[in-house]
Amino acid sequence: MSVLYHLLINAKNHPNAPAIIADDGEVSYFELFAYTLEFAKNLKSKNAKIGDKIVIKCYQNIAFCVAFLGTQLAGCTAVPVEPDVTDSRLDIIKSELVDFKLFDQYNLSEFAMAKSDDVAKFDLNDLPSADNVSEILYTTGTTGRQKGIMHSFTTQFCAVENLLSIIDTPPNTKTLITCPMNHAFSIRRFYASIVTVSCTALCKGVVPLQKFHELLKEWEINAAVFAPSALGIILNESKFDIKSSFERLNYIEFAGSYLQSNLVTNTLQIASHLKIYNVFGSSEFGCATGIDEAINNQKGCIGRPTIHTKVYIIDDNGNELEDGKYGYLALSGGSFMLGYISGENILNKNGIYVTQDICYKKNGLIYFIGRDSDVINIGGLKVSPDDVEDIANTYPLIMKSACVGKMHKLAGQVPVLFVVPKNGFSADEFYKFLKTHLQTHEFPKEIHQIDEIPHTYNGKIDRKKLRNILNE
């Protein structure tokens, strides 16, 4: 079973069902497979071989999706990168890949579709082997050296089933993906739409906001995928009718980082009918845990393990910890990558993938404290930046906050808070507010006002850049 299997079945059994809508048009499932099949044929005619690596610049359009799926259908490996990828980043990727080819043609009108007879004759046995390396996803390197993550059709499909074990996606769903399509979660969400015979809509983020709200209406969107930072942008802009836009949606889906409780509260105040889902995982593993509307406002909760995932909380020695004890989130399951293209091994002695996320278990649910490098250690007391931000973001005169640790001679580290203030903000009044809501060791020793909180390409707070600001 694979995503390409479902794409073929959809083309034959649901040919007229809408598959993708984007700035470059709209295609049905028959049209999507016909474009994909012809793209694969063209690759082979240019002497592309099984296992060749095709680097594809990722634009939020149908042409990218055709190139991405067509590369895989040809038995090659798709390597999506951001459209403005730098030469230095490409050089690093090229140094790791054999048979590197760059695809940079994104005008759908120049693509051809396979003939109906060719689609009808295409057999399930013509699909690539499930063990083939279907894709290599490169991390952006914001938390260290960029890495190429290899997935097969099998691990790819397990990741989709993990996602769908949390989020019900009926066939009439039209999901707007605002995150970049070379982001692992966006790709998994696209795959999930194919498996459920539903429609993917693509747009380039939520800015400009006017276009975002217009697309929700014009394309009749009933589900949306955001990074948490994007939702913050939407909620902080008062001149648009957010309520009208959100009333069209059945659910909102988040990925990329822990979803702060104030965003959930503020969203449900606008549209109480909404289901809110947050999925937590990594490019290496896919969706490992997920949280649904029944438990979505428990502080720090990232939900329950997905269907193909076993979750452990372990200490520095790899020993599993009891409920309530802080430790490293460790994972095993069918969606785990084949490996890094570099050959680096990250499994521990028990064959388990150990993340750098500090978490704990309680009553079958997983709670997130922070990245190991982000958790602030004050003389042995641990402070989660997310906990501080959760409180700070409820203050009505700030738009956004971010907490990082700063080195301290006596305490080891102390919390420092960056805020984006609104008109009328008073640092003294804000300090008073924080003192009544935070524990003594959580209280920020410095507050810095800035124009914008920096984010990584994947929508997470760029704490590394904030720490660099402190060191300037």
Q: If you write DSSP's letter for every residue of 133-159 in order, what string do you get?
A: EEEEEE---TTSS--EEEEEHHHHHHH
- Please give the full DSSP string across 12-56, using - where no structure is assigned: HHSTTSEEEEETTEEEEHHHHHHHHHHHHHHHHHTT--TT-EEEE
Q: Is pLDDT above 50 for 361?
A: yes
Mean pLDDT of 426-453: 93
Q: Is pLDDT above 80 for 102?
A: yes
Give the model's pLDDT for residue 419: 97
350 with 393, same domain: the answer is no
Q: Is pLDDT above 60 for 404?
A: yes
Task: Collect contacts of 25-29 with beta carbons under 8 A, ≥24 apart.
Answer: 25/62, 25/108, 26/62, 27/62, 29/197
Q: What is the CATH number of the domain that holds 154?
A: 3.40.50.12780
264 with 303, same domain: the answer is yes
Q: How confident is the model at residue 297 (pLDDT cuts 50, 70, 90)?
A: low
Q: Is residue 47 part of a domain?
A: yes
Range of lowest pLDDT (91-100, 280-289, 307-316, 347-356): 91-100
- Please give the full DSSP string across 192-261, using - where no structure is assigned: HHHHTT-EEEE-S-S-SHHHHHHHHHHTT--EEEE-HHHHHHHHT-TTS-HHHHHTT-SEEEE-SS---H
259 with 158, same domain: the answer is yes
Mean pLDDT of 118-138: 94
The total number of structural domains in the chain stands at: 2
Q: Is residue 368 part of a domain?
A: no
Mean pLDDT of 116-135: 94
Give the model's pLDDT for residue 261: 72
Q: How confident is the model at residue 143 (pLDDT cuts 50, 70, 90)?
A: very low
Range of lowest pLDDT (125-134, 146-155, 203-212, 224-233): 224-233
Give the model's pLDDT for residue 258: 65
Higher pLDDT, 91 or 399: 399
Q: Based on C-alpha coordinates, what's the Rg of the chain?
A: 23
Q: Is residue 369 part of a domain?
A: no
421 with 459, same domain: the answer is yes
Give the span between the Cα atoms of 260 and 250, in whole angstroms.
20
State which of 362, 388, 404 marks the end of a domain. Answer: 362
State which of 332, 362, 392 marks the end of a domain. Answer: 362
Percent above pLDDT 70 for the chain: 95
55 with 31, same domain: the answer is yes
The most confident of 57-61, 64-68, 452-456, by mean pLDDT: 64-68
Q: Is pLDDT above 50 for 351?
A: yes
403 with 335, same domain: the answer is no
Q: Is residue 370 part of a domain?
A: no
Q: How confident is the model at residue 36 (pLDDT cuts 50, 70, 90)?
A: very high
Q: Does the CA dihedral 367-371-372-375 come out positive or negative?
A: negative
Mean pLDDT of 108-125: 91
Mean pLDDT of 240-247: 88
Q: Is residue 308 part of a domain?
A: yes
Q: What is the CATH number of the domain that holds 430?
A: 3.30.300.30
Q: Is residue 210 part of a domain?
A: yes
Q: Is pLDDT above 90 for 342?
A: no
Give the model's pLDDT for residue 88: 80
252 with 395, same domain: the answer is no
What is the domain range of residue 451?
Answer: 376-471
382 with 351, same domain: the answer is no
Rounded alpha-carbon distances, angstroms, from residue 84 to 59, 158, 376, 437: 10, 30, 34, 43
Q: Is pLDDT above 80 for 436?
A: yes
439 with 315, same domain: the answer is no
Q: Is residue 75 part of a domain?
A: yes
Mean pLDDT of 101-108: 79
pTM value is 0.84
Average of per-residue pLDDT values in the chain: 89
Q: What angle (nearest 5°) sits at the alpha carbon of residue 200, between those of residues 458 and 335?
A: 60
Q: Is residue 295 part of a domain?
A: yes
36 with 114, same domain: the answer is yes
Percent above pLDDT 90 for the chain: 58
Give the span between the Cα atoms of 102 and 90, in whole angstroms.
10
358 with 398, same domain: the answer is no
Give the model's pLDDT for residue 72: 97
The most confident of 197-206, 365-374, 378-387, by mean pLDDT: 197-206
Sequence-ordered list of residues with C-beta below 8 angstroms from that of 271, at least 6 positions apart, any chain: 243, 246, 247, 249
Beta bridge partners of 367: 301, 360
140 with 205, same domain: the answer is yes
Give the model's pLDDT for residue 378: 85
Give the model's pLDDT for residue 230: 83
